[in-house]
Amino acid sequence: MSDQRIKTPCIGRCSTVYGDLVCRGCKRFHHEVVNWNVYDEAAKRSVWQRLEVLLVQVMVGKLEVFDAPRLRQQLEARQIRFVAEQSPYCWAYQLIARGARVIQQLEAYGVALLPEFREWSLLQLRDAIDQEYFLLSRAHYDRYIAPEFVVGEAR
């Protein structure tokens, strides 16, 4: 794994250019995508933390990371980029997002699916995680951000 720090949540599937208020790729809000390069480190950290909290919320409902050091070692060995400071559940997401087509034994990575998901393929799981993560991000936007924009415009 290179020491190159991941500088942005962008994963190269931006849907904000098509008018989405929440990106279907990275789950940031439109204004965050547009303004990312002018944000200071505190603002960027705030966005990263929100994305982490929402993703972990989805992941703990689907799987268990039972061996975080093994997961980290496997990610590094396979050169899968991840943010080391984030939760191992975010690491597990990166593993599934990048390796859903090739992973045979998820347990070999220090991760186990919860019983209700053990019959799912990793592709199905990846898509379900991504959809739920998007829905949570959209709900967060609708609850906390959109009303602020409406109030701001009324002034």
Asked if residue 71 has pLDDT above 50, the reply is yes
Q: Mean pLDDT across the stretch 104-129?
A: 97
Q: Mean pLDDT across the stretch 91-115?
A: 96
- The single-letter DSSP state of residue 5 is P
State the pLDDT confidence band at 155, using cuts at 50, 70 and 90. Answer: very low
Q: What is the pLDDT of residue 152?
A: 52
CA-based angle 50:78:96, to the nearest 5?
Answer: 45
Asked if residue 3 has pLDDT above 80, the reply is no
HSE-CB of 137 using CA atoms within 13 angstroms: 26
Q: What is the pLDDT of residue 2?
A: 42
Q: What is the pLDDT of residue 99?
A: 94
Query: For the chain, what's the residue count?
Result: 155
Q: What is the pLDDT of residue 149?
A: 60
Q: What is the pLDDT of residue 126?
A: 97
Q: List beta partners, residue 22.
A: 29
Give the closest residue to 111 by CA, choosing from 130, 134, 128, 88: 88
Read off the tokens for 49. Answer: 């933390």
Q: What is the pLDDT of residue 119?
A: 97
C-alpha distances (whole Å) from 13 to each of 10, 20, 69, 109, 113 are 8, 12, 30, 26, 27
Q: What is the pLDDT of residue 59?
A: 98
